[in-house]
Structures are given as structure tokens and as C-alpha cells.
Structure 1
Amino acid sequence: QVVTSGDVIQDRPLYEVGGKGLFVKEIEEALLDGRADFAVHSIKDVPAGLPPGLGIHCIPKRSSPYDALIVRAALLGDAPFTLEQLPLGAKVGTSSLRRGLALAGIRPDLQIVPLRGNVDTRLGKLDSGELEAIVLAEAGLLRLGLESRVTARLTAELSLPAVGQGALGIESREGDARVAAALTTVHDAPTALAVGVERGILRALGADCKTPIAAFAELDNDEQFFKRADHFRVRAWVAEPDGSQRGQLDESVSLPGTEEEADDLGRALGTRLLEARGS
């Protein structure tokens, strides 16, 4: 068992203590010294740059890329509940700068409260009455069998997802043919292309953990996921932590043929995003 710094440090926002890379550092050390053959990450927590000798060699099919609103049971009735129905000045827990800015753009009256810990810890703070609502990645709740806790899905129009949100990335040593062969059975090329574009944008931005970033690549015809469509719709934004100096893009681009082309495409889009931001 490997315990990461991200698991241990729970009393401060990630951007104050080293960013999401805190969830992978110790695991990558185990890969490099041979204690582990591969590691399964939530790819949104994996930095754009990887240590020499390691790579993301498998990306399974993506789960939900969206954020989910979870509201305290006492506020719910029988009818569907939306973000707009939260009480004036409600306390909403999230430690994501991206989610905080998205919420503030929809409901400036909401109080954004820093929230760390595993899913059970976060749900416990909600259920105890400390908060009126929390926002989590829907994919994490689905994987834990907690879909019944989702009050409302926040669509990309409301809260544009983080880079790679909903996708897993399997990291392993470069040149390890045995592991690579085993991983091909669960690799999903379409998801890898979409995530490759998003991570290419992240690489181009070269931003640190204090910079809120969102990027989402999807086909226009989502019901026929990669079967007939030949263009991605790519949406992305980057801003200062206070929401200022914001740049954004929404473009239709030809579907890349390889993961290398996806990365190149993402980098080109990221450069345009920086230009739109005025950096």
C-alpha cells in the first residue's frame, strides 16, 4: 500500500501545498524502483509532465466528465432540485478553484467553502449540516456506487470539466513490454484522443496549481461516440484565481488520427487560448 502526500495533507488547499501532483509522487517512486508494475490514476490529478522513464500507456473508456451537485437532504423535496434553488448565501464546499469560479459565475451569492478529504469525509461534512451543498466529480461517485447521492449534474455549459475529468490513466515504466501488452486490453483509443487534446492544452498553458483551468473535448454527435463524427468540439478556459484575465475558446477541429497528433492539436489550441487571454 502506498500513502501519498495528497492523502496525508488534508488541512490545506492543494494549490497551497504542491498541487495535484501530491497524489502521484510516491506512487511514481514505487513504479521507478520496481515495487509496482503500473498505477491507476484519476488522470485529472496527473501533472502534464511525467518523470523520465514513466508514461501514461493506457486510458480506459471515460466515465462521466461532469461535475455533480450534492445537496443536503433536508433541502430536498420530491421534485428535481437545481443549483438555482439553493438558498441565498448557501455554503457550498469545494477546494477546486475551477469549480469555485464556475459557481460564482452562476450564483455570486454563494459562499464557497474549502473542502478536502475523501468522498466519505466530504459527504459527512454535508450530512452533518456544515454545508448546504458540495460539488464533486460525478465519475468518482459513480465508481463508488454512490450515484443516488447526485442531486444534479452540472453540464459543461454550467461548469466546464477539468482536463481529463472522468478518465483514468494507467501509468507504467517506458519499455516494459509485458505490462504494455496487458494494458492494451482495456485501452480506449477514442478516450485517449480526447484526453490527449485536453492535456496538450494543459502543457501549452504551462500553468501552476494556482491557475484555474478547464478543458473538454467531445464529439458533436455524442450518442455515436467516435463512430461517425470526424470533428471534436473543444472548449477551454483559463483565468487568474480571482476570475480576472480570463481567456476562453470554443472551436470545432478535425479529429486527430494519433495520440501524438492529439497532443500537438491541444498545444496549438492552448497557444491560442493564451493569446485570447492576452498573456
Structure 2
Amino acid sequence: MSSTVSSSPRTIRIASRKSQLALVQTHWVRDELQKHYPDWTFEIQEMSTQGDKILDVALAKIGDKGLFTKELEVGMLKGESDFAVHSLKDLPTRLPEGLMLGCVTERENPADALVLHEKHRDKQLATLPEGSVIGTSSLRRLAQLRHHFPHLQFKDVRGNLNTRLAKLEAGEYDALILAVAGLQRLGMGDRVHQVIPAEISLHAVGQGALGIECRTEDPEILSLLKVLEHTETAQRCYAERAFLRELEGGCQVPIGVNTVIADGVLTLTGLVATLDGKTLVKDVVSGAPEEAEALGVELAQKLKDQGAEEILAAIFAEVQRS
């Protein structure tokens, strides 16, 4: 046990959203910490966030500044909980004063998945009939898929995973685009009909990783969490988050990424697209993993030089008008 973790066991309070996926992820974090600190007590505090409550409005219309995190953050700042477990893709790149990203866990597959209605079980994205209705609440997925498959139709879908799957099975959609990682964590990996390659859809910043947020001035909790840190995932995600932060984009804009670390080199690919998918700006940078955040900033600047800021400004204006 680290010297900065008290030798006197105490109760640690973990904040989590109430959704099934959020609780599966938080229980995993609790159980892993319990293995390392068997004499400590870990309690989970379940909360509903604004994003959980507003299900009849597209995410892009609401805005995403803390949509799935604010209530949990308020609890930490009040001292009611010690840390919060998030899907890292839901965690804004700029955190409230007094809070920080304390740990990034090992990443599951960050790719997007095609989940099909039974009648299309022998199809893939490229072979779905013209006019097939694809459900997604992500502007990032929407823009990239429109670019590659302009013959398909896209329709917003909200709700938890089971709600979305029920809508698919009821025939409201021919297919859904979901995260591979979420399906795998819920034991539904068999629902993945196609793992969508990065050449078609770059994934969301932080997708597939868990981000644990805690108070900045809490060295004991920070030390406690370090047993769950996965260095390579953290480096990849810090590069992605710096890229997103520099573009001042949230999770509800068409910004996609892909990161790989191989032979000591981190390669970051990034994309910004128009909502109709007709214009994509895309580029790549490589460098030392230890320079992850600088690489993210460098890539953002390269895309800005290609018109990314104008694309994002136009999208923001369009979403506000709609």
C-alpha cells in the first residue's frame, strides 16, 4: 500500500449515475479497489444527472457541458462523495475548479458497433438496403456515416441501452450504432454485428475507457486510485482530450479520433466533419507518448489550418437554429 494512503481503513464513497452501464462500471472499480484494499469499505452513491432525465430532446440541442457529470461533481465538491466513475467520453475536457481526472483505466475496444434488426442479420453497413433507418444520438457518428453511406437514413435515438435495443426490436429502426465497449461491459457483445473500422468511423474522445474524477487536493484518494491507472490508455486519452479541448468541442460535435501506441510512438488521428458528411478535415500526428497532450494540441492546430473552426462554428449555429 502506498505510503500516501492511510494505514487506517475508512469508508470511501463512490458517486455513480444510476444507469445500468454506469453501475456495472462503478461496481467494477469498487471490486478492483476492494481487492487492493480489503480492509476498507467502498460505498456506491447512485445519482441521476440532467442527461438521464431529459430523454425527449437531442443531446446536441441540450449542450454537453457536464450533462452526465454535474450532479456527481457537486457532490464531490460538497464532500458528500470521494470520487466519481464516468465513461471517459462523457467527461468534459475542462473540469470545475477543485476537481481533476485522477485515473484512467485500461481501455476496452473503443470502436463503434453496428447492431442490426433481426431481418437484416446477414447485412453489414455497406449492404443495408437504401433508405434503411439507422439510430444514433451522436453527431460524430452521423456525419461520418452520412459521408460513407449517403443512401441510408439517420434518426435520433435516446434512452439507456435496453431502451434503445427495444426500439430496434420493435421495428422503429433497422439498425443502431452503439459503442462496442458498452455492449461488452453489459455482457451483450454478441449483439455486435459489425465492428465499424476506423477508416469509416473514428471513435469518440475517451471512448472505451473509464475516467475517475476526484478532488484536486485529496492526495490520499489520488494515491488510492493509482492502482487502477493504465499508463498506455491514459497517454492515448490525454492526447485525445487535449485535441478536443484545443478545438473547444464537446462530445456532441462531429469530432472523431483514433490513437495507437506502437514501438514507443503514439500516433493520433483526428477528424472534424460537417453534419451532412460532405466535408471532412482529417490529419495525423506522431510522437513520444510522454508528449501526449502536446500532440493533441498540434493535431488540433493542423485541423484549424484546414478550416475546422469554421466547420464547428457553422454546426453550432445550425444546431441552435433547429
Above 0.5 in TM-score?
Answer: yes
Distance in 2 (CA, whole Å) between partners of 1:171 and 1:147 is 27
Kindly indicate whether residue 105 of structure 2 is the aligned counterpart of residue 45 of structure 1: no
* Aligned match of 1:149: 191
C-alpha change, 1:240 and 1:88, in structure 2 (3 Å) is closer
Residue identity in the other structure for 1:66: A
**Cα RMSD (Å):** 1.5
Cα deviation, residue 142, structure 1: 0.6
* Aligned counterpart in structure 2 of residue 239 of structure 1, from 273, 283, 286: 273
Distance in 2 (CA, whole Å) between partners of 1:209 and 1:70 is 21
Cα deviation, residue 256, structure 1: 2.6
Structure 1 residues 42-97: Cα deviation after superposition (integer angstroms, max 9, x where no partner) = 111111100000000100100011000000112224xxx42112121100000101
Residue identity in the other structure for 2:152: L
Residue identity in the other structure for 2:149: R
User: What does 1:127-146 correspond to in 2, within 5 Å?
Assistant: 127-146=169-188
Cα deviation, residue 207, structure 1: 2.6
Unaligned runs of 5+ in 1: 222-228
Kindly indicate whether residue 80 of structure 2 is the aligned counterpart of residue 12 of structure 1: no
Could you say what secondary structure the match of 2:256 adopts? strand
Kindly indicate whether residue 317 of structure 2 is the aligned counterpart of residue 275 of structure 1: no
Distance in 1 (CA, whole Å) between partners of 2:204 and 2:163 is 22
Residue identity in the other structure for 1:64: N
C-alpha change, 1:5 and 1:244, in structure 2 (3 Å) is same
* Aligned match of 2:11: none
TM-score, normalisation: structure 2? 0.79
Kindly indicate whether residue 248 of structure 2 is the aligned counterpart of residue 206 of structure 1: yes
Give aligned pairs, total.
Answer: 264
Q: Percent identity?
A: 41
Cα deviation, residue 278, structure 1: 6.0
Residue identity in the other structure for 2:131: G
* Aligned counterpart in structure 1 of residue 211 of structure 2, from 162, 169, 172: 169
* Aligned match of 1:121: 163
Distance in 1 (CA, whole Å) between partners of 2:80 and 2:132 is 46
Cα deviation, residue 245, structure 1: 5.4
Distance in 2 (CA, whole Å) between partners of 1:132 and 1:190 is 37
TM-score, normalisation: structure 1? 0.90
C-alpha change, 1:89 and 1:191, in structure 2 (3 Å) is same
* Aligned counterpart in structure 1 of residue 77 of structure 2, from 7, 12, 32: 32
CA radius of gyration, larger in: 2
